[in-house]
Structure 1
Amino acid sequence: MNETGCWNTIGVAGDMSCGKLADKVHCRNCEVYSGAAQRNLQRPVDPSYRAEWAARLRQPLPAPEATDSSALAFRIGREWLALPSSMVARVAPQATPHRLPHRSGATLLGVVNVGGTLAPAVSLASMLGIDERDAAAQAGRHTFARLLVVQWEGHSFALPVADLHGIVRFASDALTPPAATINRGMVPYLRGVLARGGMHLGVLDAPLIGNQMTRLLR
């Protein structure tokens, strides 16, 4: 029998009839298996294989992507959006807003307690015309609704979001105009669209969003 393949026939990958298994328990503990591994690592390298890898390693490394912006990406409904990371103060667990008499509505939801501090809760879904019930299924991952706490002109705002993706860094000139099929209510609030890892993020215009939220407090 060829000792280099006995683990596939009488070993753990075979019928397990090898008499050494009673003592070794597993083929990886056997000198036959480890010896075959050593011979495999020490086998002569084909010249064409060495030439191929030498040619690959001689190739210059691609220039790193120049980035000048970073943003936190999040989802509302089925829309992936992003706000500048400098605007984000914290991420907090979801909380039910307490309505304000004569002030709460579709966009200003009320106030929420975030770490012992009250902050106005603002619905970006209402502001941007997004249907929060229209959410695509997220395969292979768990999603958790959260509050995104942002700051603008000394005010804190709590924005309910359905999911978070994380920080993305990008070059400003990498943004492209919104597609014609995008939600028209979002277009005035977008700086542009960023393609990243199969996702299309709507990068929001921070001053415009911030000013709209501030007006809600007047």
Structure 2
Amino acid sequence: MSTPIPPEERRHDAGRAVDDAYLHEWAEHFRAPLASAERADASAVAFRIGAEWLALPTAMLLRVAPHAVPHRVPHRTAHGMRGLVNVGGQLYPCIALAELLEIDADGGSVRTGRHTFARLLLVQWEGRGYALPVADLYGIVRYAGTRVQPPAATINKGAQRYLSGVLAEGDLRIGLLNAAMLGPQLARALR
């Protein structure tokens, strides 16, 4: 298999013999890191609630499960607490992020070319599991920390205090949730 010659260099290499020096030069060229490449040093699982695209650090994610209707727990009316869901024989408290973040859970556009349906994100904070209902799941996003931008001042004030930044991923603007801020709110919903 021969190494392709970039068009700008073809006219210079037309008469050059393929010797060890030539092969070494091209090996070094392809071995060198791209100058514009960013090193992905973080990852998050991106999902949609209403019209908002959000993401949680992948370290919190246990698994993704099919949507389940929560069973109400008597005398538990904390903000965001929906009840309990059974996933694989284990009970998880179901916490509505839409209520915690003051996001309208209705609405949002379905992305074309994909099957979109509600799911549960099973996450963990300080050893306790939680089920978070989401309208759509984008998947895992790997990114460089330098790509994270500060949240816009126009973002919903309820959600803004939980955001560590905003990430542009294709045509999406994904709000990165701060686990250290959100985790205690999940635990508080159980009280």
TM-score by length of 1: 0.71
Amino acid aligned to 1:200: R
What is the DSSP-based 3-state SS (H/G/I as helix, E as strand, rest coil) of the residue aligned with 1:150?
Answer: strand
Deviation (angstroms), 1:155? 0.4
The match for 2:34 is 62
Q: Of residues 45, 49, 54 in structure 2, which corresponds to 1:76?
A: 49
The structure 1 segments of at least 4 consecutive aligned residues displaced by more than 3 Å after TM superposition are 49-55, 57-61
Of 144, 152, 167, 2:140 maps to 167
Residue 54 of structure 1 aligns with an amino acid whose one-letter code is R
Q: Aligned partner of 2:99: which letter?
A: S
Give ranges in structure 2 of 5+ residues lacking alignment: 12-25
The offset of 1:137, in angstroms, is 3.5
2:61 to 83, 88, 94: 88
Structure of greater relative contact order (alpha carbons < 8 Å, 6+ residues apart): 2
Per-residue CA deviations over 1:55-90 (Å, capped at 9, x if unaligned) read: 8x9897623311221100011011110001011000
Aligned residue type for 1:206: A
Q: Give the equivalent residue in structure 2 for 1:101.
A: 74
| Residue 209 of structure 1 pairs with residue 182 of structure 2 | yes
Distance 2:179 2:57 in 1: 7
The one-letter code sitting in structure 2 at the alignment partner of 1:72 is V
| Structure showing greater Rg | 1
The CA deviation string for residues 165-189 of structure 1, in whole angstroms up to 9 with x for no partner, is: 1111112232111112222211000
Contact 2:110–2:116, Cα closer than 8 Å, also in 1: no
Say whether 1:130 aligns with 2:109.
no
Check the 8 A contact 1:104/1:110 in 2, yes or no. Answer: no
| SS of residue matched to 1:213 | helix
Q: Is the 8 A contact 1:178 1:192 kept in 2?
A: yes
Following superposition, the deviation at residue 141 of structure 1 comes to 2.0
C-alpha RMSD of matched pairs (Å): 2.2
Q: Secondary structure at the match of 2:82?
A: strand
Cα distance change, pair 114–209 in 1 and its aligned pair in 2 (3 A): same
The Cα offsets for residues 81-100 of structure 1, whole Å up to 9 and x where unpaired, read as 00010110000000000001
User: What is the CA distance between 1:105 and its match in structure 2?
Assistant: 5.3
Does the C-alpha gap of structure 1 residues 97 and 65 become closer, same or farther in structure 2, counting only changes over 3 Å? same
Structure ranking higher in strand proportion = 2
Aligned partner of residue 91 in structure 2, secondary structure = strand
- What is the rounded CA distance, in whole Å, between the counterparts of 1:68 and 1:139 in structure 2? 30
Question: How many residues are matched?
Answer: 169
Higher normalized helix content (fraction of residues) = 1
**Match for residue 86 of structure 2 among 109, 113, 116:** 113
Aligned to 1:143: 116
Q: TM-score, normalised by structure 2?
A: 0.81
**1:135 Cα offset (Å):** 1.3
- What residue identity is the alignment partner of 1:172? G
**Structure 1: any 5+ residue segments left out of the alignment?**
1-48
CA, structure 1 residues 125+61, in 2 after alignment: closer, same or farther (shift >3 Å)? same
